[in-house]
Structure 1
Amino acid sequence: MEGSPHRVSDVMSRAAVAVGRRAQFKDMVERMEQWQVSALPVLEGDGRVIGLVSEADLLPKEEFRGTDPDRLTRQRRLSDLAKAGAVTAEELMSTPAVTVHADATLAEAARIMALRHVKRLPVVNAEGVLEGVVSRGDLLKVFLRSDNALADEIRRDIVDVLFPAPVEPVHITVTDGVATLTGRVKDAARIPLATRLIHGVEGVVGVDCRLTATGET
Protein backbone atom coordinates (compact mmCIF):
# COMPACT_ATOMS: atom_id res chain seq x y z
CA MET A 1 0.00 0.00 0.00
CA GLU A 2 2.14 2.85 -1.27
CA GLY A 3 0.96 6.43 -1.19
CA SER A 4 -2.34 8.06 -0.28
CA PRO A 5 -5.25 7.89 -0.75
CA HIS A 6 -5.60 4.14 -0.61
CA ARG A 7 -8.36 2.39 -2.49
CA VAL A 8 -10.83 -0.29 -1.54
CA SER A 9 -8.88 -2.69 -3.79
CA ASP A 10 -5.88 -2.31 -1.43
CA VAL A 11 -7.67 -3.75 1.60
CA MET A 12 -10.72 -5.73 0.45
CA SER A 13 -11.09 -9.49 0.83
CA ARG A 14 -11.23 -11.07 -2.63
CA ALA A 15 -12.39 -14.48 -1.36
CA ALA A 16 -15.97 -13.37 -0.71
CA VAL A 17 -18.55 -15.76 0.74
CA ALA A 18 -21.84 -15.44 -1.14
CA VAL A 19 -25.11 -17.31 -1.72
CA GLY A 20 -27.69 -17.70 -4.46
CA ARG A 21 -31.26 -16.44 -4.22
CA ARG A 22 -32.57 -19.91 -3.25
CA ALA A 23 -30.16 -20.39 -0.33
CA GLN A 24 -31.96 -21.65 2.79
CA PHE A 25 -32.12 -19.86 6.13
CA LYS A 26 -30.12 -22.42 8.09
CA ASP A 27 -27.45 -22.61 5.39
CA MET A 28 -26.93 -18.87 5.58
CA VAL A 29 -26.62 -18.93 9.38
CA GLU A 30 -24.08 -21.75 9.11
CA ARG A 31 -22.02 -19.86 6.53
CA MET A 32 -21.96 -16.72 8.64
CA GLU A 33 -20.79 -18.74 11.62
CA GLN A 34 -18.20 -20.71 9.63
CA TRP A 35 -16.66 -17.70 7.92
CA GLN A 36 -17.23 -15.20 10.75
CA VAL A 37 -19.05 -12.68 8.58
CA SER A 38 -22.09 -10.55 9.37
CA ALA A 39 -23.61 -10.44 5.88
CA LEU A 40 -23.74 -12.45 2.65
CA PRO A 41 -24.07 -11.04 -0.88
CA VAL A 42 -26.82 -12.70 -2.91
CA LEU A 43 -25.81 -13.43 -6.50
CA GLU A 44 -27.48 -14.12 -9.82
CA GLY A 45 -26.03 -16.89 -11.95
CA ASP A 46 -23.47 -14.61 -13.63
CA GLY A 47 -22.10 -13.39 -10.29
CA ARG A 48 -24.04 -10.14 -10.29
CA VAL A 49 -24.97 -8.88 -6.82
CA ILE A 50 -28.75 -8.56 -6.48
CA GLY A 51 -29.05 -8.16 -2.71
CA LEU A 52 -27.53 -8.71 0.70
CA VAL A 53 -28.62 -10.86 3.62
CA SER A 54 -27.32 -9.58 6.95
CA GLU A 55 -27.65 -10.73 10.54
CA ALA A 56 -30.29 -8.01 10.94
CA ASP A 57 -32.36 -9.66 8.19
CA LEU A 58 -32.22 -13.03 9.99
CA LEU A 59 -32.91 -11.88 13.56
CA PRO A 60 -36.68 -11.19 13.18
CA LYS A 61 -37.28 -14.95 13.00
CA GLU A 62 -36.01 -15.22 16.58
CA GLU A 63 -37.40 -11.88 17.76
CA PHE A 64 -40.98 -12.72 16.81
CA ARG A 65 -40.85 -16.42 17.65
CA GLY A 66 -44.00 -17.45 19.54
CA THR A 67 -45.35 -13.90 19.71
CA ASP A 68 -48.55 -12.29 18.48
CA PRO A 69 -47.60 -8.66 17.69
CA ASP A 70 -50.23 -6.02 18.34
CA ARG A 71 -51.68 -3.91 15.56
CA LEU A 72 -49.26 -1.00 16.04
CA THR A 73 -46.24 -3.34 15.88
CA ARG A 74 -47.61 -4.99 12.74
CA GLN A 75 -47.95 -1.58 11.10
CA ARG A 76 -44.50 -0.37 12.11
CA ARG A 77 -42.62 -3.63 11.61
CA LEU A 78 -44.33 -5.02 8.51
CA SER A 79 -41.04 -5.70 6.72
CA ASP A 80 -39.49 -7.42 9.75
CA LEU A 81 -42.59 -9.54 10.27
CA ALA A 82 -42.37 -10.67 6.65
CA LYS A 83 -38.74 -11.65 7.20
CA ALA A 84 -39.71 -13.57 10.33
CA GLY A 85 -41.64 -15.94 8.10
CA ALA A 86 -39.05 -16.06 5.30
CA VAL A 87 -36.86 -19.08 4.58
CA THR A 88 -34.80 -18.21 1.47
CA ALA A 89 -32.24 -15.55 0.60
CA GLU A 90 -34.58 -14.09 -2.00
CA GLU A 91 -37.24 -13.50 0.66
CA LEU A 92 -34.79 -12.17 3.24
CA MET A 93 -32.36 -10.04 1.28
CA SER A 94 -32.21 -6.28 1.32
CA THR A 95 -32.30 -5.06 -2.26
CA PRO A 96 -30.81 -3.30 -4.07
CA ALA A 97 -27.59 -4.11 -2.27
CA VAL A 98 -25.42 -1.25 -1.01
CA THR A 99 -22.16 -1.76 -2.89
CA VAL A 100 -18.87 -0.03 -3.63
CA HIS A 101 -16.36 -0.11 -6.49
CA ALA A 102 -12.78 -1.29 -6.05
CA ASP A 103 -11.35 2.11 -7.08
CA ALA A 104 -13.29 4.00 -4.39
CA THR A 105 -11.17 5.60 -1.67
CA LEU A 106 -11.31 4.22 1.85
CA ALA A 107 -12.91 7.48 2.98
CA GLU A 108 -15.69 7.02 0.42
CA ALA A 109 -16.30 3.46 1.59
CA ALA A 110 -16.35 4.59 5.23
CA ARG A 111 -18.94 7.28 4.42
CA ILE A 112 -21.18 4.75 2.66
CA MET A 113 -21.00 2.40 5.65
CA ALA A 114 -21.81 5.20 8.07
CA LEU A 115 -24.68 6.65 6.05
CA ARG A 116 -26.26 3.29 5.25
CA HIS A 117 -25.55 1.71 8.66
CA VAL A 118 -23.82 -1.37 7.25
CA LYS A 119 -20.74 -3.25 8.42
CA ARG A 120 -19.70 -4.81 5.11
CA LEU A 121 -19.91 -3.75 1.46
CA PRO A 122 -19.81 -6.04 -1.57
CA VAL A 123 -17.21 -4.76 -4.02
CA VAL A 124 -18.50 -4.88 -7.59
CA ASN A 125 -17.28 -3.99 -11.08
CA ALA A 126 -19.07 -1.77 -13.59
CA GLU A 127 -21.47 -4.61 -14.45
CA GLY A 128 -22.33 -5.25 -10.81
CA VAL A 129 -20.39 -8.53 -10.66
CA LEU A 130 -18.92 -9.39 -7.26
CA GLU A 131 -15.16 -8.86 -6.95
CA GLY A 132 -14.79 -9.06 -3.17
CA VAL A 133 -16.03 -7.67 0.14
CA VAL A 134 -14.74 -4.83 2.29
CA SER A 135 -15.52 -4.61 6.00
CA ARG A 136 -15.07 -2.01 8.70
CA GLY A 137 -12.05 -3.95 9.90
CA ASP A 138 -10.53 -3.85 6.42
CA LEU A 139 -10.79 -0.04 6.38
CA LEU A 140 -8.77 0.10 9.60
CA LYS A 141 -5.84 -1.82 8.09
CA VAL A 142 -4.20 1.45 7.03
CA PHE A 143 -3.52 2.15 10.71
CA LEU A 144 -1.21 -0.86 10.72
CA ARG A 145 1.26 0.98 8.49
CA SER A 146 4.64 1.41 10.14
CA ASP A 147 5.74 4.77 11.52
CA ASN A 148 8.74 4.68 9.16
CA ALA A 149 6.48 4.22 6.13
CA LEU A 150 4.34 7.16 7.22
CA ALA A 151 7.38 9.38 7.79
CA ASP A 152 8.77 8.45 4.36
CA GLU A 153 5.50 9.35 2.64
CA ILE A 154 5.18 12.64 4.51
CA ARG A 155 8.76 13.55 3.56
CA ARG A 156 8.50 12.48 -0.08
CA ASP A 157 5.00 13.65 -1.02
CA ILE A 158 4.46 16.68 1.20
CA VAL A 159 7.48 18.23 2.91
CA ASP A 160 9.94 17.98 0.01
CA VAL A 161 7.28 19.34 -2.37
CA LEU A 162 6.05 22.26 -0.25
CA PHE A 163 9.40 23.19 1.31
CA PRO A 164 12.15 22.30 -1.19
CA ALA A 165 14.63 24.76 0.37
CA PRO A 166 13.86 25.18 4.08
CA VAL A 167 15.68 27.73 6.20
CA GLU A 168 16.49 24.90 8.62
CA PRO A 169 16.07 21.19 7.97
CA VAL A 170 12.53 19.90 8.55
CA HIS A 171 12.61 17.01 10.98
CA ILE A 172 9.80 14.45 10.80
CA THR A 173 9.11 11.89 13.47
CA VAL A 174 6.13 9.56 13.63
CA THR A 175 5.31 7.75 16.86
CA ASP A 176 2.25 5.49 17.11
CA GLY A 177 0.86 7.18 14.03
CA VAL A 178 1.25 10.74 15.35
CA ALA A 179 3.43 12.88 13.07
CA THR A 180 5.57 15.66 14.57
CA LEU A 181 7.30 18.24 12.35
CA THR A 182 9.92 20.74 13.50
CA GLY A 183 12.09 23.21 11.60
CA ARG A 184 11.98 26.60 9.89
CA VAL A 185 10.67 27.29 6.40
CA LYS A 186 10.38 30.32 4.15
CA ASP A 187 6.66 30.37 3.34
CA ALA A 188 4.38 30.64 6.38
CA ALA A 189 1.29 30.28 4.19
CA ARG A 190 2.23 26.70 3.33
CA ILE A 191 2.38 25.48 6.92
CA PRO A 192 -1.42 25.08 7.38
CA LEU A 193 -1.54 23.34 3.98
CA ALA A 194 1.17 20.92 5.07
CA THR A 195 -0.76 20.12 8.25
CA ARG A 196 -3.95 19.47 6.29
CA LEU A 197 -2.19 17.24 3.77
CA ILE A 198 -0.47 15.23 6.50
CA HIS A 199 -3.83 14.63 8.16
CA GLY A 200 -4.89 13.15 4.82
CA VAL A 201 -2.12 10.54 4.75
CA GLU A 202 -3.69 7.10 5.23
CA GLY A 203 -2.65 5.72 8.61
CA VAL A 204 -1.82 9.03 10.29
CA VAL A 205 -3.56 9.30 13.66
CA GLY A 206 -2.65 12.90 14.51
CA VAL A 207 -0.37 15.79 13.53
CA ASP A 208 1.76 18.03 15.74
CA CYS A 209 3.14 20.64 13.35
CA ARG A 210 5.73 22.85 15.02
CA LEU A 211 7.10 24.41 11.84
CA THR A 212 7.91 28.10 11.99
CA ALA A 213 8.59 30.53 9.16
CA THR A 214 11.29 33.14 8.57
CA GLY A 215 10.56 36.13 10.76
CA GLU A 216 8.53 34.17 13.31
CA THR A 217 9.78 33.96 16.86
Structure 2
Amino acid sequence: MAINNQEMQSKILEAFNFRHATKVFDPAKKIADDEFNTILEAARLSPSSFGFEPWQILVVQTPEKRELFRDFAWGANGAFNGTAGQLGTASHFLIFLAHTDVNQTHNSEYQQKFMKEVKQLPDDVIGFINQAFQKFQEHDFKIEGQRQITDWAGKQAYIAAGNVMSVAALMGIDSCPIEGFEMDKTSAVLEQHFGIDPKVYQPAVMVALGYRADEPPFEKTRRTMDQVVSWF
Protein backbone atom coordinates (compact mmCIF):
# COMPACT_ATOMS: atom_id res chain seq x y z
CA MET A 1 0.00 0.00 0.00
CA ALA A 2 1.37 3.39 -0.98
CA ILE A 3 2.22 5.80 1.82
CA ASN A 4 0.46 9.12 1.51
CA ASN A 5 2.33 12.38 1.95
CA GLN A 6 1.10 12.96 5.49
CA GLU A 7 2.26 9.50 6.58
CA MET A 8 5.59 10.04 4.86
CA GLN A 9 6.11 13.41 6.55
CA SER A 10 5.35 11.82 9.90
CA LYS A 11 7.82 8.99 9.33
CA ILE A 12 10.55 11.41 8.22
CA LEU A 13 10.18 13.64 11.27
CA GLU A 14 9.98 10.61 13.54
CA ALA A 15 13.28 9.34 12.10
CA PHE A 16 15.01 12.69 12.52
CA ASN A 17 13.84 12.96 16.11
CA PHE A 18 14.95 9.36 16.71
CA ARG A 19 18.45 9.98 15.39
CA HIS A 20 21.09 11.13 17.87
CA ALA A 21 24.88 11.02 18.09
CA THR A 22 25.15 7.55 19.59
CA LYS A 23 28.24 7.25 21.79
CA VAL A 24 27.94 3.56 22.69
CA PHE A 25 26.30 0.85 20.59
CA ASP A 26 25.09 -2.59 21.57
CA PRO A 27 27.96 -4.76 20.26
CA ALA A 28 25.71 -7.82 20.12
CA LYS A 29 23.37 -6.23 17.57
CA LYS A 30 24.54 -6.15 13.96
CA ILE A 31 23.04 -4.40 10.94
CA ALA A 32 21.68 -6.89 8.41
CA ASP A 33 23.59 -7.06 5.14
CA ASP A 34 20.65 -5.93 2.99
CA GLU A 35 20.01 -2.93 5.25
CA PHE A 36 23.66 -1.92 5.22
CA ASN A 37 23.77 -2.25 1.44
CA THR A 38 20.81 0.16 1.26
CA ILE A 39 22.73 2.61 3.45
CA LEU A 40 25.77 2.37 1.19
CA GLU A 41 23.57 2.80 -1.87
CA ALA A 42 22.20 6.04 -0.37
CA ALA A 43 25.78 7.26 -0.12
CA ARG A 44 26.60 6.18 -3.67
CA LEU A 45 23.56 7.95 -5.08
CA SER A 46 24.20 11.18 -3.16
CA PRO A 47 24.55 14.46 -5.04
CA SER A 48 27.82 16.36 -5.35
CA SER A 49 29.15 19.56 -6.88
CA PHE A 50 29.39 19.13 -10.67
CA GLY A 51 28.51 15.47 -10.05
CA PHE A 52 32.17 14.60 -9.49
CA GLU A 53 31.58 12.38 -6.40
CA PRO A 54 34.92 13.38 -4.84
CA TRP A 55 34.81 10.85 -2.01
CA GLN A 56 35.72 7.26 -1.20
CA ILE A 57 34.28 5.17 1.63
CA LEU A 58 36.23 2.71 3.77
CA VAL A 59 34.19 0.18 5.74
CA VAL A 60 36.40 -0.80 8.67
CA GLN A 61 35.06 -4.02 10.19
CA THR A 62 38.15 -5.83 11.41
CA PRO A 63 38.59 -5.12 15.14
CA GLU A 64 42.36 -5.01 14.74
CA LYS A 65 42.04 -2.38 12.01
CA ARG A 66 39.70 -0.26 14.13
CA GLU A 67 42.11 -0.39 17.06
CA LEU A 68 44.78 1.29 14.93
CA PHE A 69 42.82 4.56 15.37
CA ARG A 70 42.08 4.26 19.09
CA ASP A 71 44.93 6.34 20.52
CA PHE A 72 44.11 9.46 18.52
CA ALA A 73 40.46 9.11 17.47
CA TRP A 74 39.29 10.75 20.68
CA GLY A 75 35.76 11.21 19.38
CA ALA A 76 35.32 7.46 18.89
CA ASN A 77 37.45 5.75 21.54
CA GLY A 78 35.14 6.17 24.53
CA ALA A 79 37.64 8.25 26.48
CA PHE A 80 34.93 10.67 27.62
CA ASN A 81 32.60 8.01 29.01
CA GLY A 82 34.87 5.16 30.03
CA THR A 83 33.66 2.74 27.37
CA ALA A 84 35.04 1.06 24.27
CA GLY A 85 33.41 3.88 22.30
CA GLN A 86 32.09 3.66 18.79
CA LEU A 87 35.29 2.00 17.60
CA GLY A 88 34.71 -0.92 19.93
CA THR A 89 30.93 -1.24 19.80
CA ALA A 90 29.59 -0.10 16.40
CA SER A 91 28.17 -2.68 14.05
CA HIS A 92 29.75 -0.85 11.09
CA PHE A 93 32.39 1.87 11.02
CA LEU A 94 32.91 4.10 7.98
CA ILE A 95 35.68 6.49 7.06
CA PHE A 96 34.88 8.99 4.31
CA LEU A 97 37.91 10.11 2.32
CA ALA A 98 38.03 13.38 0.41
CA HIS A 99 39.85 13.58 -2.90
CA THR A 100 42.70 16.10 -3.00
CA ASP A 101 43.83 18.46 -5.71
CA VAL A 102 45.55 15.54 -7.47
CA ASN A 103 42.14 14.33 -8.64
CA GLN A 104 39.95 17.41 -8.34
CA THR A 105 41.87 20.25 -9.97
CA HIS A 106 40.16 21.37 -13.17
CA ASN A 107 41.23 19.41 -16.26
CA SER A 108 42.84 16.67 -14.12
CA GLU A 109 43.39 13.26 -15.69
CA TYR A 110 41.05 11.74 -13.10
CA GLN A 111 38.19 14.08 -13.99
CA GLN A 112 38.59 13.50 -17.72
CA LYS A 113 38.41 9.73 -17.19
CA PHE A 114 35.50 10.09 -14.77
CA MET A 115 33.43 12.18 -17.17
CA LYS A 116 34.12 9.85 -20.08
CA GLU A 117 33.80 6.46 -18.37
CA VAL A 118 31.42 7.06 -15.46
CA LYS A 119 29.22 9.89 -16.71
CA GLN A 120 29.63 8.75 -20.35
CA LEU A 121 29.63 12.30 -21.66
CA PRO A 122 30.56 13.25 -25.23
CA ASP A 123 33.78 15.19 -25.80
CA ASP A 124 32.06 18.51 -26.47
CA VAL A 125 30.16 18.35 -23.18
CA ILE A 126 33.35 17.38 -21.33
CA GLY A 127 35.05 20.41 -22.84
CA PHE A 128 32.23 22.67 -21.65
CA ILE A 129 32.34 21.23 -18.12
CA ASN A 130 36.12 21.65 -18.01
CA GLN A 131 35.74 25.35 -18.77
CA ALA A 132 32.88 25.78 -16.29
CA PHE A 133 34.71 23.96 -13.50
CA GLN A 134 37.89 25.95 -14.10
CA LYS A 135 35.90 29.18 -13.78
CA PHE A 136 34.22 27.82 -10.65
CA GLN A 137 37.54 26.97 -9.02
CA GLU A 138 39.62 29.95 -10.09
CA HIS A 139 37.05 32.75 -10.12
CA ASP A 140 33.68 31.98 -8.55
CA PHE A 141 34.71 30.16 -5.36
CA LYS A 142 38.50 30.68 -5.58
CA ILE A 143 39.22 27.07 -4.65
CA GLU A 144 42.88 26.56 -5.49
CA GLY A 145 45.64 24.57 -3.84
CA GLN A 146 45.76 21.29 -1.95
CA ARG A 147 44.03 22.42 1.24
CA GLN A 148 41.17 24.35 -0.35
CA ILE A 149 40.34 21.70 -2.92
CA THR A 150 40.48 18.93 -0.31
CA ASP A 151 38.18 20.95 1.96
CA TRP A 152 35.76 21.41 -0.95
CA ALA A 153 35.80 17.65 -1.58
CA GLY A 154 35.21 17.10 2.14
CA LYS A 155 32.05 19.21 1.92
CA GLN A 156 30.78 16.85 -0.78
CA ALA A 157 31.64 13.83 1.39
CA TYR A 158 29.51 15.32 4.16
CA ILE A 159 26.48 15.24 1.86
CA ALA A 160 26.94 11.49 1.42
CA ALA A 161 27.59 11.04 5.16
CA GLY A 162 24.41 12.97 5.99
CA ASN A 163 22.38 10.77 3.68
CA VAL A 164 23.89 7.66 5.29
CA MET A 165 22.72 8.78 8.73
CA SER A 166 19.28 9.89 7.53
CA VAL A 167 18.57 6.65 5.69
CA ALA A 168 19.84 4.66 8.68
CA ALA A 169 17.47 6.56 10.98
CA LEU A 170 14.54 5.82 8.67
CA MET A 171 15.34 2.13 9.18
CA GLY A 172 15.66 2.47 12.95
CA ILE A 173 19.46 2.24 12.85
CA ASP A 174 21.57 4.54 15.02
CA SER A 175 24.60 6.51 13.92
CA CYS A 176 27.22 9.02 14.98
CA PRO A 177 29.30 11.39 12.84
CA ILE A 178 32.86 11.72 14.15
CA GLU A 179 35.31 14.54 13.52
CA GLY A 180 37.18 13.89 16.76
CA PHE A 181 40.44 12.49 15.39
CA GLU A 182 43.94 13.76 14.73
CA MET A 183 44.20 14.31 11.01
CA ASP A 184 47.92 13.66 10.51
CA LYS A 185 47.98 10.45 12.56
CA THR A 186 44.82 9.18 10.89
CA SER A 187 46.28 9.85 7.47
CA ALA A 188 49.51 8.06 8.45
CA VAL A 189 47.63 4.95 9.59
CA LEU A 190 45.56 4.97 6.42
CA GLU A 191 48.73 5.07 4.35
CA GLN A 192 50.62 2.42 6.30
CA HIS A 193 47.82 -0.07 6.98
CA PHE A 194 45.20 0.60 4.30
CA GLY A 195 47.35 1.60 1.33
CA ILE A 196 45.74 5.06 1.03
CA ASP A 197 48.00 7.61 -0.66
CA PRO A 198 47.76 10.81 1.44
CA LYS A 199 48.62 12.90 -1.60
CA VAL A 200 45.46 11.66 -3.29
CA TYR A 201 43.01 11.12 -0.40
CA GLN A 202 42.55 12.66 3.03
CA PRO A 203 40.12 11.61 5.80
CA ALA A 204 37.07 13.87 5.97
CA VAL A 205 34.72 12.34 8.55
CA MET A 206 33.99 9.03 10.25
CA VAL A 207 30.50 7.57 10.74
CA ALA A 208 29.65 4.80 13.18
CA LEU A 209 26.46 2.76 12.72
CA GLY A 210 24.62 0.22 14.82
CA TYR A 211 22.01 0.01 17.57
CA ARG A 212 22.13 2.14 20.71
CA ALA A 213 23.09 0.46 23.97
CA ASP A 214 20.99 2.92 25.97
CA GLU A 215 18.52 5.68 25.34
CA PRO A 216 20.06 9.16 24.96
CA PRO A 217 20.47 10.90 28.35
CA PHE A 218 19.10 14.22 27.09
CA GLU A 219 16.18 15.31 24.96
CA LYS A 220 17.02 16.60 21.51
CA THR A 221 17.49 20.37 21.50
CA ARG A 222 17.58 22.62 18.47
CA ARG A 223 16.99 26.29 17.69
CA THR A 224 13.41 27.16 16.81
CA MET A 225 12.35 27.37 13.16
CA ASP A 226 12.15 31.17 13.44
CA GLN A 227 15.74 31.27 14.68
CA VAL A 228 16.96 29.10 11.81
CA VAL A 229 14.91 30.26 8.83
CA SER A 230 14.35 33.73 7.38
CA TRP A 231 11.74 34.34 4.68
CA PHE A 232 11.99 37.13 2.13
TM-score bin, normalised by smaller chain: under 0.3
Structure of higher CA gyration radius: 1
- TM-score of the superposed pair, with normalisation by structure 2: 0.23
Higher normalized helix content (fraction of residues): 2
Q: TM-score, normalised by structure 1?
A: 0.24
Which structure has the higher relative contact order (CA within 8 Å, separation 6+)? 2
Higher strand fraction (1 or 2): 1
